[in-house]
Structure 1
Amino acid sequence: MTVERKTPKTFNIILWIAQGLLALTFVWAGFMKIFKPEDLPFAWVKGNANLVLFTGVFDLLAGIGIMFPTLLRIKTKLTIFAAYGIIVLMIAASIFHISRGEAKDIGFNIFMLLIAIFVAWGRQKKAPITNK
Structure 2
Amino acid sequence: MQANTVSTPIQPAGKVLQISLWSVQTLMFAAFTLFGFQKLFMPAEALAAMWQTQWPVEYSTLLRFTGLIDVAGGIGILLPALTRIQPRLTVLAALGCTILQICAIIFHAMRGEFAALPLNFILLPLVAFILWGRGKRAPVAPR
TM-score (norm 1): 0.90
From 19, 27, 42, the counterpart of 2:25: 19
Q: Distance between the aligned counterparts of 1:124 and 1:51, measured in 2? A: 29
Secondary structure, aligned partner of 1:130? coil
Q: Deviations over 1:44-82 (max 9, x none)?
A: 212221111010000010001000000000000000010
Q: Deviations over 1:10-68 (max 9, x none)?
A: 21011001111111010001111111134421212122211110100000100010000
The residue type equivalent to 2:123 in the other structure is M
Residue equivalent to 1:36: 42
From 88, 94, 117, the counterpart of 2:105: 94
Residue equivalent to 1:59: 70
**Shift >6 Å, 4+ stretches:** none
Q: Deviations over 1:68-125 (max 9, x none)?
A: 0000000000000101101100000001101111134211101111001111111122
Q: Distance between the aligned counterparts of 2:15 and 2:84, measured in 1? A: 17
Secondary structure, aligned partner of 2:58? coil
Say yes or no: does 1:80 pair with 2:91. Answer: yes
Secondary structure, aligned partner of 1:67? helix
RMSD over aligned CA atoms reads 1.3
Using the aligned pairs only, state the percent identity. 40
Q: Distance between the aligned counterparts of 2:92 and 2:126, measured in 1? A: 14
Structure with greater Cα Rg? 2
Q: Is the 8 A contact 1:37 1:52 kept in 2?
A: no
Any stretches of 5+ residues in structure 2 without a counterpart?
A: 1-12
TM-score (norm 2): 0.83
Secondary structure, aligned partner of 1:31? helix
The residue type equivalent to 1:103 in the other structure is F
